[in-house]
Structure 1
Amino acid sequence: MVVHVVMIKFREDPEKESHIREAKRRIDALVGRIPGLRSMETGINFAREERAMDLCLRATFDDRDALRAYAVHPVHLEVIEWLKGVAEYSKVVDYETGER
């Protein structure tokens, strides 16, 4: 199994909080629409430290091929395009577990 973790920092904007909630909604809606995507968990950060990110997602995939397919899937790319308009930057970690 492959785990994909993304942390997103949103642009400072009067609509920032609604953008974060909308991002969570859009990301959560990917489940069941992309083959190989086993699960998706998203969380809105409540920490207000300087180093804090705004939103985190943890997705699991069958394998690396499923993660690669997800990266270019049209439904995922729609979310990415929307995020480009509201996010400042993101960080990612991908790793394999011993689970199958």
Structure 2
Amino acid sequence: MIINNLLLKLKDRSPENITKAREVLLSMKGEIEVLVDLTVAANIRSGPAAYDILLIAKYNTMEDLEAYLTHPVHVEVGKYIAGVVESNASVCYRD
């Protein structure tokens, strides 16, 4: 199993904006066949070093992860996220 964790810090860190970004990310669930599981959580502990959203995506293989990255649904979601994100960090690992 390949697990990709993505942390997002948004430009506008208001609760409404965080909720909207979370909903957009969750819209991929069930729409991309190679995406085995998707969790999107909003941070409940704020602070200057904190990120706002954690995305955990699971795939069976690295090839599936690569297919996800170019899937049209992910590309559209990525366009929205690129417009609202200030910074991000990721960790991808095999479990």
Pick aligned residue for 2:55 from 54, 57, 66 = 57
Query: Residues of 2 paired with 1:19 and 1:69: CA distance?
Result: 28
| Map of 2:26 onto structure 1 | 28
* 8 A Cα contact 1:7 1:92, kept in partner: yes
Which residue matches 2:11? 11
Unaligned runs of 5+ in 2: none
Aligned to 2:2: 2
RMSD of equivalent CA atoms: 1.3
- TM-score, with structure 1 as normaliser: 0.88
Alignment TM-score, normalising by the size of structure 2? 0.92
* Unaligned stretches of 5+ residues in structure 1: none
CA distance in 2, matches of 1:18, 1:77: 23
Which of 30, 36, 39 does residue 38 from structure 1 map onto?
A: 36
Shift of 1:79: 0.8
AA aligned opposite 2:6: V
Q: Give the residue type in structure 2 aligned to 1:47.
A: R
Identity of paired residues, percent? 27
Offset at residue 65 of structure 1 (A): 0.5
Q: Secondary structure at the match of 1:71?
A: helix
Computing the radius of gyration from Cα coordinates, the structure with the larger value is 1
Q: How many residues align?
A: 95
Instruction: Quote the offset at 1:90 in angstroms.
Output: 0.9
